[in-house]
Amino acid sequence: MEVKDLMNQVFASVYQFEDGIVFRKANGEGYYLHHIQDCCESVYIESIVGDLKDLENNPILIAEESTEDMGAAASESGTWTFYKFATIKGYVDIRFCGESNGYYSEAVDISKCEFNKKGEPNISY
Give the pLDDT of residue 92: 98
Give the pLDDT of residue 83: 96
Contact 68, 7 (CB under 8 A): no
Mean pLDDT of 4-8: 97
Give the pLDDT of residue 63: 97
Contact 49, 92 (CB under 8 A): yes
Tens digit of each residue's pLDDT (9 = 90 or more) over 66-123: 988 877 666 677 889 999 999 999 999 999 998 887 777 788 999 898 888 887 888 7
| Residue 48 CB burial class (10 angstroms; 0-12, 13-18, ≥19) | middle
pLDDT bucket at 9, cuts 50 / 70 / 90: very high
Give the pLDDT of residue 124: 60
Contact 11, 93 (CB under 8 A): no
Find, among 1, 78, 3, the residue nearest to 44 by Cα.
78
Strand order in the sheet with 77-87: 41-49, 90-100, 77-87, 62-69
pTM of the model: 0.88
Give the pLDDT of residue 3: 95
Would you mind telling me the total number of residues written for the chain in this entry? Answer: 125
Tens digit of each residue's pLDDT (9 = 90 or more) over 22-41: 999 999 899 999 988 777 78
Give the pLDDT of residue 125: 52
